[in-house]
Structure 1
Amino acid sequence: MAAPYPLILVDGSSYLFRAYHAMPKLTNSRGEPTGALIGVLNMLRKLIETYRPDYLAVVFDASGKTFRNDLYADYKAHRPPMPEDLREQIAPLHTIIETMGLALLCVPGVEADDVIGTLATQAAAAGIRTLISTGDKDMAQLVDDRVHLINTMTDALLDAAGVEEKYGVPPARIVDYLSLMGDSVDNVPGVPKCGPKTAVKWLAAHGDLDGVIANAAVIKGKVGDNLRAALDQLPLSRQLTTIKCDVALPLGPTELVPGTPDRERLREWFERIESRKLLADLDRLDPTAPAPTAPETPQGAADYQVVLDRDGFLAWVERLRAAPLFAFDTETTALDYMRAEIVGVSFAIEPGAAAYVPLAHTCPGTPEQLDRDWVLDTLKPLLEDPERAKVGQNLKYDMSVLARHGITLRGIAHDTMLESYVLDSTAGRHDMDSLARRYLDCDTIAFEDIAGKGVKQLTFDQIPLDQAGPYAAEDAEVTLRLHRHLWPRLESEAGLAALYRDLEIPLVPILSRMERHGVRIDCDQLATHSHDLAVRIQALETQAHEVAGRPFNMGSPKQIGAILFDEQGLPVVAKTPKGAPSTSESVLEQLAAEGHELPRLILEHRGLAKLRSTYTDKLPQLVNPDSGRLHTSYHQAVAATGRLSSSDPNLQNIPIRTEEGRRIRRAFVAEPGNLLIAADYSQIELRIMAHLSGDERLLAAFASGQDIHRATAAEILGIAPEAVDAEQRRSAKAVNFGLIYGMSAFGLARQLGIGRAAAQDYVDRYFERYPGVHAFMERIRAQAHEDGHVETLFGRRLHLPEIASRNQNRRAAAERTAINAPMQGSAADIIKRAMITLDDWIERERPPARMIMQVHDELVFEVAADAVEAVGARIRAAMEQAAELRVPLVVDLGVGENWQAAH
């Protein structure tokens, strides 16, 4: 069959930058950056395999200036320099592309766009259909009947109608459209405040750019004034945005025939960049090779059934009963597990086949569906049977939704999200679509593809079955394939398999129960707090305006920058990527520490405004109307170290060091007749450091129950512990925690407000007194460089992709992570072990207690008031016995009517 597009032109420069920002910061064992390179090669592989073109060229921008710089000296003047780790990947990428047998073009004096435009124009004249692979909107001006665009990031194919639908103007008006808007990235002048809607409106009314210019006098408003002020520069903007299509080129379209790849050299390159996937897919990078045979289960060819009759459903139930393992998934009306209603269920027992049973689709024309209650009642014995093994993707959500329908999901054998997370928490996202691309090399049907986006997005019950069926069945079938790919890899690593089996999987039902039970909050108290914050915020704004000498928008970095740096002449501490003075939190903190009043006021204003918008205003809105309680979502597969995170609300971010943060915690209250118990591990990461380092003085201090910060101050200063004052203890605390987080002397100096030399002296004296800690840090750095990862006490592996980076800052950051990750990760594992033990006790013995929150190193329980003492003793014992260390684990236990009072 003839190729649909005999000529493909690849915008290599667009590929390169998009891959750099989309891919993780990968390096090989030599420390050479490889992420963008691998990303580009993967996109090329996919393009070649999909289209099998007769002619193909990869076009890059040449170094140096172009004719556009002669037209306009400031063209692209504001672009930041190319990151060094990206620059290092260009030469190897060019070499590999040529080794693949592909034409590579870099023409001095013009841009890649101009080379592509010229080749596309020549091809069209010869009757050759062309596909341009790019993410650059400027290329839309080239589209016609014989030239189309494809964005390989989204697989969106644009013909002339597609261009007009996307941009609001046909290809012939794209240059006019771009000229009016200008381009801040390339520094192309346009009409200020003229965005896409205004540009489309003007062109629709006046035909083209010349028509807009001719009618500038009649365009009203501020934007009309801007147009009239920009009239002199619009012809220049048109020149800069017009792609040149008459470039003198060394090769014509029909001379771009792919050659035979040098397989041995390619193999050497792929081994050097350490890409197992590219090595395995070597044949798929060869445009001259015959099309590959279809895989066992090609995307779109699987047998996906929509089950609408009882006999068909019961036949699937029998197949599920006979299967040693089946994949299961629910489709629902909402992401909120406390409000979601089941719309349908899907399952798969072998790759290539799956079924979707619709139960509550409401769109017009939907055929009669099986009764939801009958289907769920029929499935209930199977779903509740702990001996029937199930696999899913994020089964915690399905468990919570099923619970609302009276089904307790048991027999969770595997969860592909957790399999991927335990294998490598830093590999990227662990959602099903990402995992399918990463491990199965297939693109799944995205929810937005069938439901739309934004405010017009449909809920799943509104989606027709011809779209809903394949989407839902694919979820189950791809999950099963992912498990078959991931589990053998996990099983081959005994330590990781044990962590997954004994810690992460058992935690799934525990977290589901915690989420569904929720926590009670006092909305009236939060409303009062919110009002008080509003008053303080307004007072800070008034005070800031007085200090500035004029009113300004406290939320505008641009206005703040103008006042701080232009009007008040404060020193510029850092700049944004675009070169403007930064007004980030760290910059404002540094300026405030130097005694500048306005940065301090802005910081305080920002902090209080964030508390109000994130917590005091928002928390009452999140209360479930049925339960009357707040229900967060805990995430097992987000934090690289193994710690749990939470969202809606994020409980981990409620501040505890400020009075305002503590006041928010006072709104988390117990039900009448109950109290809250807050059980917090005391200095757990320092205790893990003592255990791992084996430092004699540190071990002795913890063993004797000393105040570790006072003991450290005494050791460093050479004085008796009772002689240590509050400031000395504070400094020692900063050293203790700073060092396990890899803080440098420079960072310590900033935190303590002392000179760098004094901070370095603190660090030096610390290591003199605790040599075991220093030895451990050096040992763990060396191990991280050798292995590329570090491990927790329980075998959790924390990968460090930047540990061999040539970039010193990235390498140093990875080394700091290597030191801290075993402690943070071990602390996360310990509290998870405690949660499993305590949940088992609660489920078996049914005391009047519920575990309701996990935040940092703390567990919070809601307990009947008359059972607090007995329950508290059991909690303390379980948490302190969750791991055997060379120092005792200590738990601080507090009781109160609210969360803050329990501290």
Structure 2
Amino acid sequence: MPESKKSPFILVDGSSYLFRAFHGLPPLTNSKGQDTGAIYGVVNMLKSLIKQYNPTHMAVIFDAKGKTFRDDIYPEYKANRPAMPDELRSQIEPLHTIIKAMGLPVIVEPGVEADDVIGTFAKHATEKGIDTVISTGDKDMAQLVNQHITLINTMTNQVMDVEGVKTKFGIPPELVIDFLALKGDKVDNIPGVPGVGDKSAQALLNGIGGIDDIYQNLDRIADLSFRGSKSMAAKMAEYEEQARLSYTLATISVDLELDYDIEALMPTSADNEALRDLFAEYEFKRWHSEVSALLNAGESGSSEAQASDSKASSSEDKTSESAFSDVESIDKSQYEVIFDEEQFSAWIEKLKKADLFAFDTETTSLNYMEAEIVGVSFCIEPGKAAYVPVAHDYPDAPAQLSRDLVLDALKPILESESAIKVGQHIKYDKNVLANYDITLNGIGFDTMLESYMLNSTAQRHDMDSLALAYLGHKTIHFEDIAGKGAKQLTFNQIDLNEAGPYAAEDADITLRLHNAIWKKLEPIDSLKRLLINVEVPLACVLSRMEQQGVLIDSQKLGQQSQDLATRIAELEKEVHEEAGESFNLGSTKQLQHILFEKMSLPVVKKTPKGAPSTSEDVLQELALEYSLPQKIMEYRGLTKLKNTYTDKLPKMINHRTGRVHTSYHQAVTATGRLSSTDPNLQNIPIRNEAGRRVRQAFVPRKGNKIVAADYSQIELRIMAHLSGDKGLLDAFAQGKDIHKATAAEVFGIALDDVTTDQRRSAKAINFGLIYGMSAFGLAKQLNIPRNEAQKYMDLYFERYPGVLDYMDSTRESAKDKGYVETVFGRRLYLPDIKASNGARRKGAERAAINAPMQGTAADIIKMAMIKVDDWIAKNASDDVTMMMQVHDELVFEIKEDKIDNYVDTIKALMESAATLNVPLNVEVGIGENWDEAH
């Protein structure tokens, strides 16, 4: 074995990572519907671990099927755990096969847990003086930590040594078993001692010692300073047998008789041919490409392959390493931190000559209205990046160029339309620069939007995630240099020895990401057009809207908060009276007790842990027959409205502008819809009076009015276009009330004879079909028997057969392609469309029907925003402000005396944003506030 400091013995808790990958990552399937997410997560973790440690000795240990010796001791051990889902079980054997093909020893020992095997191996290594690193997410493993044994959570990169255990648990490693035995473990169903929690367990162990010491000194417990210490001795005595049983259950065995020699647990040469086939089968495309390239290089005997082989200490080491390494480390040796004018001027000349350069700002805040520039970075070709600090003000910070000098020199380049820039979420940088009177123009690309256009559902679109996905590179995370939590530093406080490489890397990675993603995106014409003609220009439109903000009447909101507080208090009193006792309405557990135990209301749905659900849809169903759930729903709605809007909005008014500035997000929803935060404008209710009152606080400046322009029934119109159904096309072409027309068709009556209830039913069918509603769902919504709801749906499809054909063909196309498209070619990938799990597959099928409509509606309003923004800039910039986008609605602030001039133009621009087989219709409202205008 090697010297311990050079290469530790790596023990991987495979079962821990298997469960964490399955539950912690989004579901992933291949085109055959096989679940692959857990496989991907564990293999990715192993690749990362090996890249970090390059171990010479290593093993991956999994739990075996069946019971263990702990089940014999205590039959209720782990009894609370639900059965392993089939979607996870199906991934175990393929995972073992892949790990073995990677050349790693896989150990599955029957009758014991993986923890016990790991504990025994770690003890043997310690006895030989060999350092061991245990890769796990299991807190129980902390009991094994000593000077030779360390834990690493590879998913979070957190390392836990002896001091780390003390910090996390408040006790040394040798007392961890006692700690677990006292407080118990709900996950493993270890009973512990009732009433003992973290703090009391820590007090007992630090004040007296382990369980044996405690039971020899019960009289000392009362003298300890923790809540309940006076009565704890009696409780400890009562539950001694349970405490000692818990100790036995929590103890990881370290003395198993295992038929393994730890010195023989070594990675061997990877079977790259097997890996190639396995990665192809499970559709891990990047890994498949890497292994295929290795095999091709080996077959050709190229000089490149020979040169790379010569760098390895042995062919075996090289083969093993190559299976785990994603790409070569990014060379940061040519990064520059610029302190003098001559060096800065040289970079200005480089930027002027560059065809394209990456640009990024470093600031003091994520709030674009408050952020101050601390420095800027740019990159002209991969590996050649620079950071210009201008405002690092920590003690002993070196002299830096002045912010004014730097921004003055950069302004002509940044404002130039011909100097093409690429950024990561560059809208933020555009907003920040606007605070310094710089209009960022020439935005050619945004890597966040490129990734989003390529696959909106594939992964997160932040730089750290994209660098891992497309470059195989782990970036310097902000937390790595700034810390976390309340003590986190702002960028101006960070030492330039750390801030410089971080900022330069941001620009370098941005350019590399653009090069990598654009290669994949450019061949797909529809996506390329949407990126260049819609998403990138829209980012600039949204930036202008964000900077404009919206005026809020804080006094009106203050009065609304008082009114809401009064009604909330009344509701709380009414609920308590009806329940017959006071309880915390915010406590799920107490609400479960009142509704399902005390009042014996029917259990509609259960949580994953088996408790009765109190979710919104459950309360909604119960409210049809019982008054208490109805009041609780009203209480929840008003409380949320008060906390989120009437209390919070006045605090969000910017001190400089006197307005509230939201942030619009282009790369969040799967369908292309925009979302917004701080405040979330999309979630202000419109169907109840309290929500509409909040909208009354959105007001225009003096001499202006609010104008709201809303696409009418746009998704139904898109359904008519996509399905080509003659009945729907005719109804829209003739300007009929579509819900009334549908009711007439479904019920076989004249249009004038349609009743209000019949129209309501038809409306539920129209919108329900868009969202994939079943007959069961329609029955619930209309409060009618399921067979009657099915009859309505059957009649609908008889009258509109094109809709049924569209839905059937869309589902089949989605299964074939793995994605659906909007009218304009935006794609939504559906990884679950062939899932073996019926619920996930059905959900993907519903999304396949709905996404083209939602996505097309999103495309249309985005194109309308660009068109209207361009018209405003050229014709009405002094008179019209586009303030908000909410769902299918655009909200403007227009000078009162110009309303008549502009309303018809805005309506016409929006209606001509796209051409469908049905007319687009925009309804316009005018008012003294948003509610009046809508």
TM-score of the alignment, normalized to the shorter chain, above 0.5? yes
Secondary structure of the structure 1 residue equivalent to 2:504: helix
Q: Rate the CA distance shift 1:497–1:306 in 2: closer, same or farther, 3 A.
A: same
Correspondence 1:510 to 2:541: yes
2:914 to 869, 883, 898: 883
Question: Aligned equivalents of 2:384 and 2:801: distance in 1?
Answer: 60
1:84 aligned residue: 86
Amino acid at match of 1:74: E
User: Matches of residues 91-490 of structure 1 in structure 2 within 5 Å?
Assistant: 91-192=93-194, 194-213=196-215, 214=217, 215-219=220-224, 222-224=227-229, 225=231, 228-230=234-236, 231-232=239-240, 233-282=242-291, 289=319, 291=321, 298-299=329-330, 301-490=332-521
Moved more, 356-365 or 696-705: 356-365
2:901 aligned residue: 870
Question: Aligned equivalents of 2:325 and 2:54: distance in 1?
Answer: 15
Q: Rate the CA distance shift 1:194–1:282 in 2: closer, same or farther, 3 A.
A: farther
Q: Is contact 1:130-1:148 (8 Å) kept?
A: yes
Amino acid at match of 2:256: V
1:770 aligned residue: 800
Q: How far has the Cα of 1:646 moved from its partner?
A: 0.2
Question: Aligned equivalents of 1:577 and 1:314: distance in 2?
Answer: 61
2:820 aligned residue: 790
CA deviation string 1:345-364 (max 9, x = no partner): 11111112211111111211
CA deviation string 1:568-618 (max 9, x = no partner): 11222222122211111111112112x122211111111111111111111
1:20 to 19, 22, 31: 22
2:868 aligned residue: 838
Question: Aligned equivalents of 1:294 and 1:227: distance in 2?
Answer: 56
Q: How far has the Cα of 1:294 moved from its partner?
A: 9.4
Secondary structure of the structure 1 residue equivalent to 2:583: coil
Secondary structure of the structure 1 residue equivalent to 2:933: coil
Question: Aligned equivalents of 1:391 and 1:346: distance in 2?
Answer: 12
1:531 aligned residue: 562
Q: How far has the Cα of 1:190 moved from its partner?
A: 3.1
1:50 aligned residue: 52
Amino acid at match of 1:412: I
Unaligned residue ranges in structure 1 (runs of 5+): none
Q: How far has the Cα of 1:200 moved from its partner?
A: 3.4
Question: Aligned equivalents of 2:264 and 2:7: distance in 1?
Answer: 16
Moved more, 732-741 or 448-457: 448-457
Q: Is contact 1:216-1:228 (8 Å) kept?
A: no
Q: How far has the Cα of 1:454 moved from its partner?
A: 1.8
Secondary structure of the structure 2 residue equivalent to 1:261: coil
Q: Is contact 2:222-2:233 (8 Å) kept?
A: no
User: Matches of residues 658-697 of structure 1 in structure 2 within 5 Å?
Assistant: 658-697=688-727
Secondary structure of the structure 1 residue equivalent to 2:930: coil
Q: Is contact 2:270-2:319 (8 Å) kept?
A: no
Q: Is contact 2:203-2:224 (8 Å) kept?
A: no
Amino acid at match of 1:747: G
CA deviation string 1:410-465 (max 9, x = no partner): 01011000000000000121011111111111111111122222222211111111
Question: Aligned equivalents of 1:443 and 1:895: distance in 2?
Answer: 52
Aligned residues: 902
Amino acid at match of 1:127: G
Question: Aligned equivalents of 1:715 and 1:397: distance in 2?
Answer: 50
Q: How far has the Cα of 1:198 moved from its partner?
A: 4.4
Q: How far has the Cα of 1:76 moved from its partner?
A: 1.3
* Identical aligned residues as a percent: 58
CA deviation string 1:652-686 (max 9, x = no partner): 01111111111111111111100011000000000
Q: How far has the Cα of 1:645 moved from its partner?
A: 0.3
Secondary structure of the structure 2 residue equivalent to 1:642: coil
Q: Is contact 2:374-2:492 (8 Å) kept?
A: yes
Amino acid at match of 1:269: L
Question: Aligned equivalents of 2:470 and 2:201: distance in 1?
Answer: 43
Q: How far has the Cα of 1:470 moved from its partner?
A: 1.4
Q: How far has the Cα of 1:195 moved from its partner?
A: 4.4
Secondary structure of the structure 1 residue equivalent to 2:612: coil
Secondary structure of the structure 2 residue equivalent to 1:235: helix
Q: Is contact 1:42-1:278 (8 Å) kept?
A: no
Q: Rate the CA distance shift 1:330–1:654 in 2: closer, same or farther, 3 A.
A: same
Q: How far has the Cα of 1:227 moved from its partner?
A: 6.8
Unaligned residue ranges in structure 2 (runs of 5+): 296-315
Q: Is contact 1:307-1:358 (8 Å) kept?
A: yes
1:806 to 822, 836, 839: 836
1:738 to 759, 768, 777: 768
Correspondence 1:705 to 2:714: no
Q: Is contact 1:192-1:227 (8 Å) kept?
A: no
Correspondence 1:578 to 2:609: yes
Amino acid at match of 1:774: L
Amino acid at match of 2:25: M
Q: Is contact 1:740-1:820 (8 Å) kept?
A: yes
Q: Is contact 1:122-1:252 (8 Å) kept?
A: no
Question: Aligned equivalents of 1:737 and 1:197: distance in 2?
Answer: 53
Secondary structure of the structure 1 residue equivalent to 2:576: helix
CA deviation string 1:386-427 (max 9, x = no partner): 100111100100000000011000010110000000000001
CA deviation string 1:848-886 (max 9, x = no partner): 001000000000000000111111111000000011111
Q: Is contact 1:258-1:288 (8 Å) kept?
A: no
Amino acid at match of 1:208: G
**TM-score, length-normalised on structure 1?**
0.97
Question: Aligned equivalents of 2:580 and 2:291: distance in 1?
Answer: 66
**Aligned-CA RMSD value:** 1.9
Q: How far has the Cα of 1:94 moved from its partner?
A: 1.6
Question: Aligned equivalents of 1:80 and 1:807: distance in 2?
Answer: 17
Q: Rate the CA distance shift 1:318–1:436 in 2: closer, same or farther, 3 A.
A: same
Moved more, 196-205 or 558-567: 196-205
CA deviation string 1:109-152 (max 9, x = no partner): 21110000001111222233222111111112112222222211
Moved more, 622-631 or 72-81: 72-81
CA deviation string 1:438-495 (max 9, x = no partner): 1111111111122222222211111111121111111111111111101111111111
Q: How far has the Cα of 1:735 moved from its partner?
A: 0.3
Q: Rate the CA distance shift 1:373–1:193 in 2: closer, same or farther, 3 A.
A: farther
Q: How far has the Cα of 1:177 moved from its partner?
A: 2.6
CA deviation string 1:486-528 (max 9, x = no partner): 1111111111101100000001111001001001011111111
Q: How far has the Cα of 1:191 moved from its partner?
A: 4.5
Q: Rate the CA distance shift 1:228–1:599 in 2: closer, same or farther, 3 A.
A: farther
2:750 aligned residue: 720
Q: Is contact 2:103-2:270 (8 Å) kept?
A: yes
1:61 to 60, 63, 66: 63
Amino acid at match of 1:263: N
Q: Is contact 1:217-1:228 (8 Å) kept?
A: no
**TM-score, length-normalised on structure 2?**
0.94
Q: How far has the Cα of 1:49 moved from its partner?
A: 3.0
Secondary structure of the structure 2 residue equivalent to 1:889: coil
Question: Aligned equivalents of 1:302 and 1:70: distance in 2?
Answer: 60
Q: How far has the Cα of 1:246 moved from its partner?
A: 1.0
Q: How far has the Cα of 1:300 moved from its partner?
A: 6.5
Question: Aligned equivalents of 1:629 and 1:720: distance in 2?
Answer: 52
Question: Aligned equivalents of 1:37 and 1:353: distance in 2?
Answer: 37
Moved more, 17-26 or 490-499: 17-26
Moved more, 165-174 or 367-376: 165-174
Q: Rate the CA distance shift 1:512–1:212 in 2: closer, same or farther, 3 A.
A: farther
Question: Aligned equivalents of 2:290 and 2:716: distance in 1?
Answer: 47
Question: Aligned equivalents of 2:179 and 2:355: distance in 1?
Answer: 60
Amino acid at match of 1:67: F
2:687 aligned residue: 657
Secondary structure of the structure 1 residue equivalent to 2:870: helix
Q: How far has the Cα of 1:321 moved from its partner?
A: 1.2
CA deviation string 1:734-768 (max 9, x = no partner): 00000011110111111111111111011000000
1:587 aligned residue: 618
Q: How far has the Cα of 1:304 moved from its partner?
A: 2.3
Question: Aligned equivalents of 1:361 and 1:67: distance in 2?
Answer: 60
1:73 aligned residue: 75
Amino acid at match of 2:639: A
Question: Aligned equivalents of 1:143 and 1:296: distance in 2?
Answer: 33
